[in-house]
Structure 1
Amino acid sequence: MSKRILVTGVSGFIAKHVALQLLQKGYDVCGTLRALNKADQIKKSLSDAGGDISRLSFAAADLTKDDGWEEAARGCVGVMHVASPFPVAQPSNRNALIPAARGGVLRVLKAADKSARIVITSSMVAMMYRPNRPETFTVEEADWTDTSWKSLSAYIVSKTEAEKAAWQTAVDGGYKHRITTVNPGLVFGPALDDDIGASLDVIRLLMTGAYPAVPPVSYPVVDVRDVAQIHVNALENPETSGRRLIAASETLSLSDIAEILRQAFPDRAGKIPSRVLPAWLVRLLAVVDRNIATVLADLGSVPQADSDYVRALTGVNFRPARDAVIDAARSLERIKSI
C-alpha cells in the first residue's frame, strides 16, 4: 500500500520538520512549493538533518490558484496542510488575508483523495481571542476566537476563518472524521535552514538589538519538533479524528524569553532588551505603527494551554519552553542569521 503523504508549503519552518519526521518514519513525501527553485535547498536541509531524500519529491502549487493541487494530491494517503499566508507587514484591512487562507485550505480539501487522512496546521490564535477575557485564562479545545473583535490582526482573523471553513466544509461533505487540526502556540526550536519563519524572527530580533524594550505580552510556547510529532501522530492515530489538538504547554512572556536568552548567551546580553514597555505606551505607538498594533489584543493577558488531552492522545512529551527558546537561538547562530 502507498505511504505517500502530501505536505503543503514544505519550505516553511514547521513543514520542513513535519516532512523530516515523515521521511524518518519511512513515508514518501511530496512537498508543494509555489516555485520549484527552492527544491534543492530543501533537499539539502532535510538530508543534513537525517531525512531519506530518495523518498522526497516536489510539486508546484500555489494556495491562491487552482492549478497543480489535484495532481500533487493524487495517490496520497494523507495530506498535511501546513502552508498559510503570513505577511511581512500587517495589512490595514483586517480581512485582507482571508481569501488566500480560506481559499487555500478549500483547494487542498477538494484535491485530497476521498479516503485520505487530512491534518491541518491551524493555530492557537484561532482559539484564544475574545473581548473582556480575564487576565489569566485557559485555552481549551472548544474555544474559538471572536473575529468581530476589532483589536485582532489580519493574520489572526485569517487563521480563524480558514479553520472554520475547513471544519464546515468537512461537515457538509461528510468527512469530518478524516480531519484533525493542530493548533500550536508560539513555535520555537531549531531551524533546519535560513527560511526561519515569523516565530523565529522574534528570537532574531530580540538577539540583534532590534527591540529596545518589549511589550507586556505572553504566549503559550511549543518546540517545533513536538509540533511535527503531533502532526505525524494525528495522521496515524484514528483517535485524533475530528479533534483540535492544542500544541503548547508552558506560557512565557516576551520578557521571560529575553531573560532566557540573556542567561544562555551572556556575550549578547547587551543587545537583548531588559525593559518592558507600559501598556499605555504600546497603545500610543500602535497608532502610528501597524506592526505594533498586532499585539494590542495580547496586552496584559496570560493565556494558558489546556493540552493534557493532547499528551494522552499523541504520547507527546512537550520539551521545556526554555529549551525551545535556546535551541532556536543556537540554530540561528549556526545558520548565521544572528
Structure 2
Amino acid sequence: MAGSNNDKTVLVTGGSGFIAVHCILKLLQQGYSVRTTLRSMNRQTEVHGMLKNGGITSFDNLSFIKADLTDDENWNEAVKNCEFVLHVASPTPAIKFTHEDELIKPAKEGVIRVLKASRNAGVKRVVLTSAYGAIGCGHENRKTPYTEKDWTNLQAKIHPYQKSKTMAEKTAWDFMRDEGGSLELATINPVAVMGPVLGEDFSHSQQMIRQMLEGKVVACPKIDSCYVDVRDVADLHLLAMTSPKAKGERFLATTGNALSMFDVAKILTRRLGDDAKKVPTKELPNWKLRLAALKNPSLKMLVALLGQYAQASGEKAKELLNWSPRSNEEAIVATAESLFRLGLIKG
C-alpha cells in the first residue's frame, strides 16, 4: 500500500505525543505525506527518534510546523493543501492547577482553531481524538456497557480533565452543526491506551505500568478500566479518516473487556516473570487512597474513579469499519516490554 497515497497530505497535530507518533508511523507506512505540528521545533529530533524505533527509515514524506493550540499563529499554514487532519493534540492532565478553566479553555479554543482553519482550507475530514472521558464519567448505577450514544454528565462531580475532553468534543460537534460547511468530522474516544512506547513521551495510562514495574505502587487501587493498544487506536484513526461510513460518527476505541488494576498486575506477573518482581500483589483499601490524595494532588483523578463501572463497547468500530483490536493482555505486555527495551524502567 505504501506509495499509493503520496499525493495526499495529512496534518497530525501534536506530533510528539504518544498516539500522534503512532498515527504518523501508520500514515508514513501507508505512503501519505505527513505534516505535523509541534509547540517547540526543538522536538523534531525526538520525533524522528521515536519513528525510527517504530521502523521508519526515511523522513522524506514528513515535515514539521510550529503551532500551539492556544495561539492562532501558523494554523492556516499548517492545514494548507491537506486532504485530512488528525487532531490528536490536547492539553494533558495537569497535576496542579488553580482553576479548571486552565484545562477546559485551551481544549475548547484549540479544537475551534483547528476546525476553522481546516474548513477554510478545504480539508475533507478532521478526525478528532476525544476520549472515553467524554463518554463514561459522572453516571451513577450504570450496569450496561457505555456506547458512543453516551456523554459524560457535566453536572456530576468529575475531574476537570474529563470535563475538558467532554466540552472540547461537544464544542467540535456544535461548530460542525453551525459553521462546518463542507468539512466532515469523526471522533475517536479511546479508553486507557497501552501498547509499544517509542520514546520518553507516552500516555499517563502507561505511567501506571512503569510505576508498578518500578515498585512505586505498593498496592492496586480498586479501579476498573477498559484498555486498548495504541497501534489499534492509530488504525482506527486512519479508518475513520478514509471510510465514507465514518462521516459524522463517534467511535469508542476499546477491546470491550474491563480489567481491575489488580488484574493488570496479575498479567504482568504472569507474563514477565522476574522482570515483574516489584509489581504489587494486593489491593489498596479505598480509604487509604482517599487519604493519600489529600497530600498528593496527582491521585485525585484516581479517587474520582473508585467504584465506577467501566465496561465500554467497541462493537460500532468493529461492525462499521471492520476494526480488529488486539487483546488487553497483548497491549499491556507490549507496554511493559517496550519500557524495558528502551531502558525506561529505573531500579
**Same-fold status (TM-score > 0.5):** yes
Instruction: Report how far residue 199 of structure 1 moved.
Output: 1.9
**TM-score, structure 2 as length reference:** 0.92
Gaps of 5+ in 2: 1-5
**1:177/1:242 contact within 8 Å kept:** no
Give the aligned partner of residue 200 of structure 1: 206
Alpha-carbon distance between aligned partners in 1 of 2:328 and 2:48, rounded to the nearest angstrom: 29
Instruction: Report how far residue 284 of structure 1 moved.
Output: 3.1
Instruction: Report how far residue 283 of structure 1 moved.
Output: 2.7
Instruction: Report how far residue 96 of structure 1 moved.
Output: 2.5
**2:138/2:152 contact within 8 Å kept:** yes
Matched, 1:324 2:331: yes
Give the aligned partner of residue 62 of structure 1: 68
Give the aligned partner of residue 8 of structure 1: 13
Matched, 1:21 2:29: no
Q: What is the DSSP-based 3-state SS (H/G/I as helix, E as strand, rest coil) of the residue aligned with 2:63? A: strand
Question: Which runs of at least 4 in structure 1 moved beyond 6 Å after TM superposition?
Answer: none
Instruction: Report how far residue 258 of structure 1 moved.
Output: 0.9
Alpha-carbon distance between aligned partners in 2 of 1:124 and 1:18, rounded to the nearest angstrom: 19
What letter corresponds to residue 321 of structure 1 in structure 2? Answer: N
**1:90/1:153 contact within 8 Å kept:** no
Q: What is the DSSP-based 3-state SS (H/G/I as helix, E as strand, rest coil) of the residue aligned with 2:126? A: strand
Alpha-carbon distance between aligned partners in 2 of 1:31 and 1:174, rounded to the nearest angstrom: 22
Alpha-carbon distance between aligned partners in 2 of 1:129 and 1:48, rounded to the nearest angstrom: 35
Give the aligned partner of residue 44 of structure 2: 39
What letter corresponds to residue 139 of structure 1 in structure 2? Answer: Y
Q: What are the superposed Cα offsets for residues 43-92 of structure 1, whole Å, 9 maximum, x if unpaired?
A: 23223423342100000001111101111111100000000111451435
Q: What are the superposed Cα offsets for residues 86-134 of structure 1, whole Å, 9 maximum, x if unpaired?
A: 1451435333300111111111111112342100000011000124233
Instruction: Report how far residue 164 of structure 1 moved.
Output: 0.6
Cα–Cα, structure 1 residues 142 and 153, in superposed 2: closer, same or farther, change >3 Å? same
Alpha-carbon distance between aligned partners in 2 of 1:181 and 1:205, rounded to the nearest angstrom: 30
Aligned pair count?
336
Give the aligned partner of residue 133 of structure 2: 125
**Stretch moving more, 214-223 or 188-197:** 188-197
Alpha-carbon distance between aligned partners in 2 of 1:118 and 1:162, rounded to the nearest angstrom: 14
**1:95/1:157 contact within 8 Å kept:** no
**1:18/1:228 contact within 8 Å kept:** yes
Q: What are the superposed Cα offsets for residues 198-220 of structure 1, whole Å, 9 maximum, x if unpaired?
A: 12211111110111112100111
Cα–Cα, structure 1 residues 179 and 208, in superposed 2: closer, same or farther, change >3 Å? same
What letter corresponds to residue 109 of structure 2 in structure 1? Answer: G
Alignment of 1:143-292 (within 5 A): 143-150=150-157, 152-175=158-181, 178-249=184-255, 250-292=257-299
**1:209/1:271 contact within 8 Å kept:** yes
Q: What is the DSSP-based 3-state SS (H/G/I as helix, E as strand, rest coil) of the residue aligned with 1:54? A: coil
Cα–Cα, structure 1 residues 34 and 149, in superposed 2: closer, same or farther, change >3 Å? same
Alpha-carbon distance between aligned partners in 2 of 1:233 and 1:162, rounded to the nearest angstrom: 22
Report the RMSD for the aligned CA atoms in angstroms: 1.7
**1:137/1:303 contact within 8 Å kept:** no
Q: What are the superposed Cα offsets for residues 195-240 of structure 1, whole Å, 9 maximum, x if unpaired?
A: 2231221111111011111210011100000000000011110101
Identity between Structure 1 and Structure 2 (%): 39
Instruction: Report how far residue 36 of structure 1 moved.
Output: 0.9
**TM-score, structure 1 as length reference:** 0.95
**1:91/1:154 contact within 8 Å kept:** no
Q: What are the superposed Cα offsets for residues 308-336 of structure 1, whole Å, 9 maximum, x if unpaired?
A: 12101222211010010000000001111
What letter corresponds to residue 323 of structure 2 in structure 1? Answer: V
